[in-house]
Amino acid sequence: MRSLILGGVRSGKSRHAESLAQAVAGPVTLIATGTAGDEEMAARIAAHRANRPSRWNVVEEPVHLARALARAALPGGVVIVDCLTLWLTNILCHEDPRMLDTEVEALAALLPDLPGVQILVGNEVGFGIMPVNALARRFGDVAGVLHQRLAGLCDSVVLMVAGIPLTVKAPEAGRGHHAGRRP
């Protein structure tokens, strides 16, 4: 079972992902992609750390997401990736320009074959105005294409608005979410 949770900043994406993970009886691994590049980001990371259950395994991986997912996914387990757009930022700012295609292709190829439950969290950035900066426009384009691709690979897609989950894509009949819950 794979779920994609999208939404704006502070829309409740992480909280919703965590509630879905807690509804599954198996072990939970969180793959955190953010890095503390400044004090504000360090504070955000610290707040997330303080609010998640201590029994969860945490893997910090800012670039090689497919490799981290392959190691973390277990039958009966849950992996949360938080978040895809921070991961994209890390890759777009990487010194190797081929890194973007390599890492995105690795993720897309791996995802359909992973055991357990995967919950992918990302910022929906396509609702805003067109940025004047070329890098920001590229980021929006790359994020939009990634989200479309992953939505096609996921069983469910949820858009978070003001803390409320809106189901964009529901699991097909007979493939419901664990514990009878729909993301």
List active site positions.
48
- Tokens linked to 134: 């070329």
Residues 6+ apart with CB under 8 A from 162: 11, 12
The closest of 113, 118, 131 to 183, measured between CA atoms, is 118
DSSP assignment of 85-127, as one string?
HHHHHHHHTSS-TTHHHHHHHHHHHHGGG--SEEEEEEE--TT
